[in-house]
Amino acid sequence: MTSEAAFIRALRAIATDPAARGLTDDAAVLELGGARLVLTMDAICEDVHFLADDPPATVAWKLVATNVSDLAAKGAEPRGCLLSYALTDADAWNEAFLQGLQQACEFFAIPLLGGDTVRPKSGAGRNFALVAFGEPRARMPVPSRSGARSGDTLWLSAPVGDAGAGLALLQGKRQTDSPAQHQLVDRYRKPMPRVDLGVALAPYVTTMMDVSDGVLIDSERLASASELAAVIQLDKIPLSPAFAEVFGEDLEARLFAASAGDDYCLLFTAASDAAGALERVARNLHSTLYPVGHFMEGKGISLMFDDVAVATPDRLGFEH
Amino acid sequence: MTSEAAFIRALRAIATDPAARGLTDDAAVLELGGARLVLTMDAICEDVHFLADDPPATVAWKLVATNVSDLAAKGAEPRGCLLSYALTDADAWNEAFLQGLQQACEFFAIPLLGGDTVRPKSGAGRNFALVAFGEPRARMPVPSRSGARSGDTLWLSAPVGDAGAGLALLQGKRQTDSPAQHQLVDRYRKPMPRVDLGVALAPYVTTMMDVSDGVLIDSERLASASELAAVIQLDKIPLSPAFAEVFGEDLEARLFAASAGDDYCLLFTAASDAAGALERVARNLHSTLYPVGHFMEGKGISLMFDDVAVATPDRLGFEH
């Protein structure tokens, strides 16, 4: 039972309430009187979700942003959050974290409402958890991972790969002299989920989630929950100019971008005739949507590049 | 800024939303449409809130129970919880934890709705966080720490000191051959908050919280939030037969019981003429309430034993 997947299977046997959505979704959806509440909880650990020398303000930002990203994918507007903070004696670190927390809570309009501060025994790596809750718009559906239909188009709401590229640069796995490296590192440290976009897209999608582990693995999760197969056109994976400058735009670069994770943009399916409506929504919010594939009858994920089939890599993304 | 108190002061400058209750309460109270939601988050760390050799099922129980205890103190019925779990390779430990989690969720009728599983770097002590949310009864007030009036009686909903005694026995600070030791250890490991009692008492109290850090320090917190002074009659601190058998009933024993913490019973104030109503509520729920002091104009906490003033100890309770 050592893998996270096996542990979550065991949890699923406990989490039988309908609001838990079988733990297959990114958030719980609770009905209370006339209100609906979307709840999500994400923890981040040193050396797993952030690096020990990441600026503490960006660690706080990432903690808030990753949770807000889940709310955005459920079309929910943030209403509040609670923080579990592991306090150490590093005063300057704690203060900088709090500054980043305040900035992020203000930026994403998510008030901090409470939490718990604990002081773990020394030697433990830093780790923090945040719970965020939000409300979907009245009478609007809360998108889940299941519900796609064969023929639906698969969309991304932003270029991907920047954060993964930034991490590779920070880890020394790639080097560059380009000034674009700063932008890539910034994208790793400060995810920018788009709540406005998630809320506006929610009425039109058949499934939606945020990309945290990589486009390929997350697409497979949507397909699997919908009992369908996903076909991804790697040549359509959107790349930022900064990414293209440092990593290129060839098949290898696009495979990297589609399996790197930490993008925190939206991945969703919609009926093919919804394209016009989706693009109008995006234009109104000064954004662009990218069709990257489609769903069909079957199982698993297949990859294409310029209309040629490409072998699926062993590693589709990051499981953390 | 190294103390938890200083850190929370800094957090308070961020948590300015009214639902945060200034972070001086045990829970946030969120209004959503017609519904009200009480939210609380408690984390527990190895060697701080539980011992490394505590049975894993009881660690899970304690995590759920300490959060449910906060809901009970706010008169809120549990509606759900989210778990942040730090996964290690200790399969048997994880499985036993999950069994305890399921038992506790069923016992306290709090469905597990989601959460996050992370795998921290090795060497970190185990730590877990839980968020619990619940609903107060319609039109009923949600008790806070402030609002007591001079002359209010201070009440406890159960004998205290058992959990602290159990911890002292587990740590080898006290020894006994008495079979009562098992009951005391069990009370340390498996807190039994009473939601039914909290919900039923809520309409009658002027303040309410749960005793997590010790009766003395928690009474001082209620008094301070209400801008009053607390007078505690130590001879009225209720003790269980098991506690009395192993630790005695003298002043020292009662001071220990009132400053040990981990009791997770209810501590509240009410107008003196509410005593009859309170005792009827308790009787209907097969419970007993214990008046242990009163609030008056002034500041701080003073202790009496058989009508004689007793010096206030340096350590009023456990700050964790």
- Tens-place pLDDT, residues A197-218: 999 999 999 999 999 999 999 9
Cβ atoms within 10 Å of A305's Cβ, excluding its own: 17
What pLDDT, in 10s, does the model give residues B157-188? 999 999 999 999 999 999 999 999 999 999 99
Q: What is the pLDDT of residue A176?
A: 92
Q: What percent of chain B has pLDDT over 70?
A: 98
What's the CATH fold of domain A153-310? Phosphoribosyl-aminoimidazole Synthetase; Chain A, domain 2 (3.90.650)
Would you call A31 an interface residue with chain B, using a CB distance cutoff of 8 Å?
Answer: no
Compute the distance between CA of residue A143 and CA of residue A20 in angstroms, rounded to an integer. Answer: 14
* Coil, strand or helix at B304: strand
- Poorest-pLDDT segment among A6-10, B61-65, B262-266: A6-10
Mean per-residue pLDDT of chain A:
93
Residues of chain B within CATH 3.90.650.10 domain(s) are: 153-310
- For residue A9, give every residue at least 6 positions away whose Cβ sits within 8 Å of its Cβ, in sequence order, or none: none
In this predicted structure, the answer to whether residue B150 has a pLDDT above a threshold of 90 is yes
- CB-based contact B113 A48, cutoff 8 Å: no
In this predicted structure, the answer to whether residue B320 has a pLDDT above a threshold of 70 is no
What pLDDT, in 10s, does the model give residues A137-179? 988 999 999 999 999 999 999 999 999 999 999 999 999 999 9
Q: What is the ipTM of this complex?
A: 0.86
Compute the distance between CA of residue A243 and CA of residue A252 in angstroms, rounded to an integer. Answer: 13
Q: What is the pLDDT of residue B313?
A: 86
The CATH architecture to which A4-136 belongs is 2-Layer Sandwich (3.30)
Phi then psi for B36, rounded to 5 degrees?
-120, 140
**Model confidence at A123, in pLDDT bands (50, 70, 90)?**
low
The reply, when asked if residue A116 is annotated as ligand binding, is yes
In this predicted structure, the answer to whether residue B319 has a pLDDT above a threshold of 70 is no
Residues of chain A within CATH 3.30.1330.10 domain(s) are: 4-136
Mean pLDDT of the A234-247 span = 97
- CB-based contact A80 B115, cutoff 8 Å: no
- CB-based contact A121 B46, cutoff 8 Å: yes
- For residue A35, give every residue at least 6 positions away whose Cβ sits within 8 Å of its Cβ, in sequence order, or none: A135, B32, B33, B34, B35
Would you call B120 an interface residue with chain A, using a CB distance cutoff of 8 Å?
Answer: yes
Compute the distance between CA of residue A152 and CA of residue A27 in angstroms, rounded to an integer. Answer: 23
- Kindly identify which residue of chain A lies nearest to residue B32, measuring between CA atoms: A35
